Amino acid sequence: MREGVVFDQGRFPRAKIGFVELATEQTIESDMMRLAPAGVGIHFTRSAIPDQITAANLGAMIDGLGDAAAILAPNADLDVICYACTSGSVVMGEDEVKTELRRGAPNAIATTLISGVLQALETLNVGRVAVATPYLDEVNQIEAAYMSKRGFDVVNIEGLNITNDSDMVRVTPSYIADFAVSVDRPEAEAIFVSCGALRTVDVIDEIETRTGKPCVASNQAMLWHCLRLAGITDQQDGLGTLLREH
């Protein structure tokens, strides 16, 4: 190395967060890069899965997560590493996913997308929730059971029965907003729009205005949770009650 080279902390002195995505994912990267606060590094790797988002395909991902985590910016001293898939998190289970992430990135705090969602609902003091998803019924049943086991009353869950991830990313934000409003029930205290592939971050405030209730969306909750785990407490407008007030 040349003598006298001047170093600083690089572009990301505040924190560095890594995400292990589905190989087919097309929405999460742009959401995270656009919405992360200045000085926070956002890094990505991918793990193999077919385009078909079935329970079997999601469950099979467990074998590749540790290896994917191991090649995610291994020299960057990541603060947090997150498995960035809602449905995969509930199919495989948070503990199982975190174990694999720690195997690949032992020095980072390991978490999952559904962990962020559940923490967000707890922070908002929500017990009863209506859930909108793009998933097949088999995945919805697993998600509802998982949330119920964690103490939440899922008063309604409806899916779009879309099989392919490449179709989920094309659902329009205006349709997502209408769909989220349609799944609401009077007894629900919040609406959860599940799936990182959906462009829900574009319409969170609209959903909250139309329903008068907090809206938790997968990518919004994941970003919030990872930032808080990394010690970043910035609040933001335009992403619902969660990031505006917590």
Q: Is residue 10 part of a domain?
A: no
For residue 15, the model assigns a pLDDT of 98
Q: 126, 214 in Cβ contact below 8 A?
A: yes
Helices (H), the chain: 28-35, 55-59, 62-70, 86-92, 94-104, 113-123, 137-149, 165-168, 173-183, 204-211, 218-229, 240-245
89 shares its domain with 57: yes
Q: Is residue 244 part of a domain?
A: no
For residue 3, the model assigns a pLDDT of 95
Q: Is residue 235 part of a domain?
A: no
Please state the pTM of the whole predicted model. Answer: 0.97
Distance (Å, rounded) from C-alpha 16 to C-alpha 40?
6
Q: 16, 78 in Cβ contact below 8 A?
A: yes
Q: Is residue 73 part of a domain?
A: yes
123 shares its domain with 216: yes
83 shares its domain with 62: yes
Crossing angle of helices 113-123 and 218-229, in 10° steps, is 90
| Residue range 165-199, pLDDT digits in tens | 999 999 999 999 999 999 999 999 999 999 999 99
Distance (Å, rounded) from C-alpha 161 to C-alpha 56?
16
Pairing of strands 109-112, 40-47: unpaired
Q: Is residue 68 part of a domain?
A: yes
Question: What domain range includes position 187?
Answer: 116-220
pLDDT category, 243, cuts 50, 70, 90? very high
Mean pLDDT of the residues in the chain:
97
Q: Is residue 22 part of a domain?
A: yes
Q: Is residue 184 part of a domain?
A: yes
Q: What is the mean pLDDT of residues 126-132?
A: 98
131 shares its domain with 178: yes
Per-residue tokens: 54: 């079935």
Domain CATH for 33:
3.40.50.12500
